[in-house]
Structures are given as C-alpha cells and as structure tokens.
Copies of this chain bind each other. A is one copy, B any other.
Amino acid sequence: MKNNFRNSKLLVIEDNSDHRFFIEKAMKTCLSEVSAIHMSTEQQAIAYMDSCLYQEWDLPTLILLDLYLPNRENGWRILEHIRQMPTPINQIPIVMLSYSNQRDDIAEAYQKGISSYLVKPTHEEEWVSYFQKLRSYWWETVTLPKMRFSF
C-alpha cells in the first residue's frame, strides 16, 4: 500500500452538475480518504491552481479534467496552463474524463501531456467502478511526484 492517501486531494474540474453528482457519490463510496476540490469553469480552475503557488498545502495529488467546459478550448487552456506552471506543480498527473470519444480529442489530449484519457461512463453504476480503478491505480500502485508540503 502506497502512502499516496496522506493529505491527498483530487481536483475535479467539471461543469456538468449531473456528472459532478456522480463523481461525489462515487468518491464517497470508494475514495473517501481523499478530499475533493471542485471547480466548474476554466477561470475558477486556473485561479485555484495559481493560488497553490502561495499555498502549497492546497496542491492536488491528481487532477481530473473534463474537456468541454463548455468548449474544448477551455479544457485545452487549463491543461496548457498547468503544464507551464513552475516545478513541481507542472508534474501533477492529469487524467482527462470527458464524454467525447472523438479520435482528435483523444490524440490532442495525449499530445498536450495528459497522463491518461477516460471516456465518461454511460450508466450511473459505472461511475463507482471507474473510481475503484482510479483508486487502485493512482493511490494504491503508482508513486506520485512529491509536492513540497506533502511529506
């Protein structure tokens, strides 16, 4: 068991309130040790990440990023912004979680430096299974980059 749960925060950038509800529910069910931080617009997400420059204890362990927020340009700008931030913030893994299964969106997301791409579940009960997979991989298997305050 990795130590990734310690002070662990997941930044969820999602503008669809239904999906946000499913994410909150799934996190309560199978990722209850992790605090969720919810942002629903590009401006909010970027302001939050910028504020982490001065409040490193707020830094997320992992970022779950929707793409169409509401346009994909919003998602791309968030992704590019985080990847251009100073070390170690630019090292935080970003998992894209979008309803789009368009080949171009998937290719561009990997091109711009996401860690992996998940197409949103189509059935309600699948959300929990997705979060079980996220828990099992990102919290129980992977070694994450250390943020300055997380030791």
Contacts and interface: CB of A to CB of B under 8 A. Distances in A.
Interface stretch (A5-13, A22-30, A36-44, A139-147): A139-147
Q: How many copies does the complex hold?
A: 2
Contacts of A119: 143
Interface in A82-126: 87-88, 90-91, 93, 101, 103, 106-107, 110-111, 113, 115-119
A interface SS class: mixed
Contacts of A136: 133, 136-137
A130 interface: yes
A110 B133 contact: no
A60 to B, nearest CB: 14
Contacts of A130: 141
Contacts of A91: 107, 110-111
A139 to B, nearest CB: 11
A149 to B, nearest CB: 14
A145 B110 contact: yes
Contact of A93 (B87, B115, B133, B138): B115
A143 B87 CA distance: 28
Contact of A146 (B88, B103, B116): B103
Nearest to A96: B143
Interface of A: 87-88, 90-91, 93, 101, 103, 106-107, 110-111, 113, 115-119, 130, 133, 136-138, 140-146
